[in-house]
A and B are shown apart, each in its own frame.
Chain A
């Protein structure tokens, strides 16, 4: 094969090839393409149906989160973290709150931790619903997606009951939640735990032993564990190759060590394994939510935030009547609170992998430097090397199973 080296001219990558027979076609996949779920571009050199090589371009939705974060106080960065992985935004919110609480040394009560676990697992289910549903749509099966999207609408109803928003939730505050989950929210969560497993079983019956689906996904894009580790993969992709690295089990946060759940692991790391790992993770999430609901029953009622008036806004009635509460309110909103001048790295298990927050504080109201370790960004870099030698349709399925969320890719 000829030596293919890309020549960069502004946004367009042109392959300067010494291809003597001139029979390779340059195919531009993206940035606006139904197969790319999000805006990223792959310029592929294709020989018939087989991809010879490819180059990825990203940055089409670069919104400079890290720069914005240096200009906003800590509590205003939460809506920013929403928009990282917007399919499972509560996980990002909780991760950010936990990072700041680690920095400030705030101890969170158990009941709040269990509530956080419920929210995060619901968000994880929501993200996997989209990923597996869209994987089905890409192989041509639209009805599975429609059925599970109804469940995602139910999860939206739960989020709306708790925080008011469906998608970009901005759930919780530094120190807990803004209000307790009311009875309707708890009853909806219990309803969800009962109604979702049969729907998931129905979804699995559509795909798991379907001849067409297995032909399209089994053996496609198989990855061995050493390559996955050297490319810093994490999350369901890494677990599908056989390595059981899950931040919830390795470095338990928010009392995940009190929960009893399994970590599903695949064998060959191909698209079918990734699909199965995500399905099984959804079942484990349901298990965790059930345990969390039981644990919350045993805790004293009504606690929804840590007792830290220096960092958590006091209720408005107190602000209008009580001098101390007024002063705390003023100091928190104006950013006059003292934060330690140090650095912290905290990782949570996002739906795509290890979502890390590297925060350097200089004692002021905004971070000095905030860096997001984004799993989609790091998982996606293997896409172009991995797709050389693949058929075009396999490359599309592969991209779908990587679950690249454009907001997290570019940040």
Chain B
């Protein structure tokens, strides 16, 4: 089959989705596109099932918190086409106060724990996820620790005297 490079790939995506796929960048040769949460499952399904593309391998799902932006939580999907040896990164920016996005577990079983981890750290609700609960932190935790406003250290520590740490 023909060699799939980033230009042909973006050509396929633009042809299928026109303006729903934007924010095209290529940092270090990895094509990176942005889409919206309404279209994300269609984009991922298109990438997975199109016979010329075959992005059948979900590498990772994670999120990033940008507190200064209006849409402050970005969910990032990395998918990989093993046949063509091409990767692509798909980002969706969500509103920080109510981050909800459809779940990719309908497409890949492997998305299950990846989305649970993203929920645990950032509070992103994946609609349609079979079992969305915390995975790494304690179940009673109410905050989402990877968001920028939460400190690294345990705020309830009594034995760490700031004086000795130069604070």
Contacts and interface: CB of A to CB of B under 8 A. Distances in A.
- Direct A–B touching, Cβ under 8 Å: yes
Interface of A: 8, 10-11, 58-59, 62, 64, 66-68, 70-71, 102-103, 227, 229-233, 243, 245, 250-251, 342-345, 347, 354, 356, 358, 360, 368-369, 371, 373, 377-378, 380-382, 385, 410-411
Nearest to A71: B152
Contact of A66 (B58, B113, B146): B146
B86 to A, nearest CB: 10
28 contacts: A10-B138, A58-B135, A59-B136, A67-B146, A103-B28, A230-B110, A231-B109, A232-B57, A232-B58, A232-B108, A232-B114, A245-B82, A250-B82, A250-B85, A251-B85, A342-B27, A342-B28, A343-B27, A344-B27, A344-B28, A358-B62, A369-B64, A378-B113, A378-B114, A381-B112, A381-B113, A385-B109, A410-B136
Contact of B28 (A102, A360, A382): A102
Interface string B4-40: 0000000000000000000000011010100000000
B145 interface: yes
A67 B27 contact: no
Contacts of A378: 60, 110, 113-114
A106 to B, nearest CB: 13
Interface of B: 27-28, 30, 32, 56-60, 62, 64-65, 76, 78, 82, 85, 87, 89, 108-110, 112-114, 117, 121, 133-140, 145-146, 152
Please name the 7 residue pairs, one residue from A and one from B, whose CB atoms are nearest each other, closest first: A232-B110, A59-B136, A381-B113, A62-B136, A373-B60, A231-B110, A371-B62
A158 to B, nearest CB: 32
A58 B114 CA distance: 13
Contacts of B64: 360, 368-369
A8 B139 contact: yes
B15 to A, nearest CB: 26
Given A62-B137, A71-B152, A358 B76 contact: yes
B109 A64 contact: no
Contacts, number: 96
A378 B116 CA distance: 12
A interface SS class: mixed
B35 to A, nearest CB: 17
Given A229-B82, A345-B89, 8 more contacts: A59-B138, A229-B57, A345-B87, A347-B59, A358-B62, A371-B60, A378-B114, A382-B109
Contacts of B28: 102-103, 342, 344-345
B151 to A, nearest CB: 9
Nearest to B133: A8
B152 A230 contact: no
B137 to A, nearest CB: 6
Contacts of A411: 136
B60 A358 contact: yes
Nearest to B110: A232
A331 B109 CA distance: 46
A377 B113 contact: yes
A11 B137 CA distance: 10
Contacts of A368: 64
A206 to B, nearest CB: 35
A233 B58 CA distance: 9
B110 A11 contact: no
A169 to B, nearest CB: 25
Central interface residue in A243, A356, A368, A369, by most chain B CB within 10 Å: A369
Given A58-B135, A245-B82, A344-B28, A356 B145 contact: no
Contacts of B113: 377-378, 380-381
Nearest to B117: A377
Contacts of A66: 121, 146
A356 B60 contact: yes
A154 B62 CA distance: 39
Contacts of B114: 232, 378
Contacts of A243: 82
A344 B32 CA distance: 10
A99 B27 CA distance: 13
A343 B25 CA distance: 10
Nearest to B82: A245
Contacts of A354: 59
Contacts of B135: 58-59
A250 B81 CA distance: 11
A366 to B, nearest CB: 11
A338 B15 CA distance: 39
A229 B56 contact: yes
B59 A356 contact: yes
A250 B80 CA distance: 11
A108 to B, nearest CB: 15
A130 B28 CA distance: 36
